[in-house]
Chains A and B, each alone.
Chain A
């Protein structure tokens, strides 16, 4: 490094730091390479085409069948509701598939040694991978949404750009949360087989176990097991006051830790969709009109942030300490 003293200051500066330091230039270089690599795969273009097709198909169905909806001027609303139900399932799957091999695959093929032969720390690699893969998911979502916007605007009479953009932004945040889980788990395993099993486990956890939790809690409460007793509340249905029972607050808190639930809740903040808002109003009745903090829409961003930060923090700590 004798000839490029003028440009060679970026990471030489970190003299005295430990190997586990973070250098933003390195993170950027790793992310850029990872993105370049992925953009050339069929996966990226396949994803963009998929998101495009998803929006166009739902829009087409709405404009064909949904005359009533159109009459109410709620077409974008319904688009958001339908599409978000699909993306709630599909975005995690895509993130897990994209992130699955991100680190474990490079360890298996040995190419991580190409990355780490260069002056990048392991943390740089982990963060760069997360950024690169998140960019792939976000850009493919954006490309799909933007291209579809033309069709959506043409087919639906009323096109609400705020709701549409809200759905896109929320989907990106949701995708990044799952990407963080995927990349982090990938870094904690040394084989793609183990990583694949971990991805499957995550999906089962949030889409099978978590869904079953509510039933389990209800059953437990019926048997009046300690901590599972119910709370009664008054709701107004069709102008009539109804006395009903609900589970305790903490059960709702646990249920809402699911990133998918946070995604749906977060949509109510970013969009102005009536169907989602009325769901919130109904939920509020359970708690006497005022939603507890953890059920408010802004709190779902904290939950998603939690799912981005916590797996990553564990991975950053662990990945620095393993033999590659």
Chain B
């Protein structure tokens, strides 16, 4: 946390201009968590803004260094608590690369399906709260109605609504539950009509359009240089989606478009995310329709816990179980940088192993941290009323920023 306490500089020497310092947060509802922003105002214009982060720092990277490789998976859930599956996947992919194990097709397709469901869920939270910030109350209720359905699906698959830890090193935590196809299909068939409902409320709403069109822009080269990723950069005309450019977990086998708009404002970020909702729905449908048969975990007895039935009959399986549970498994020394497209942008885990049974170093390049870095540039010389719309369009999660 930086020392961003700015003393009021009321100097009427040069002109009659008076600068007022305003403290937003860390408990301000529009900051979506515990973000503190110190803004200096000249009338309604922001002269300078400083973001103060760290209120939600929980030392996850440090803690991962004392957990075994598999024990660290639940910690990745708690980084970005709205898209925990993307974090699970990113970590699992990085470690699997170091281990050089192959993941069966069924697990890969399930990962895709679950990640897309969690992307829908994350975008729904964003849309609801963003619209609420701008004054459209009812969108929030509609969004959370559908989000509830997804959380129920996540619970059905993993036993947990939010902190699922469903994607593990070597595959998935559990096989598909009974009746999953029907439940997922019911949701996905219904969902496009729900997107129409949201868009009916917002697309041609004059207040929404006035508050968002032409608001919150920043030059493209600045966006790139400051590390802005995800829907924000796609709304500025850059067709960059890691699922397409550096495909992982069989994404290359799915047919989907990358929505790109060129308005570079709050409204186009909204349009990108609304299109992404439809694309995610279509990807999940493809995964559902083409779900391969087979195992949900890799054939790697030293890494993946054995089947419960085998443990009761086979000595070897029991020994592996004992070893994995007590001391974990070792990962060959090396380093991997694994990027994944999370709902917010580029999430990348830099995983270093020294050959032991615990990660030597895990660095999380989180999208919210990168996006939030551009906040000062976004706010510069803009109206204080627009700052709330801009903040909402950035779609950050403070757990993701502070780790």
A in complex with B = no
Residues on A facing B (Cβ under 8 Å): none
Residues on B facing A (Cβ under 8 Å): none
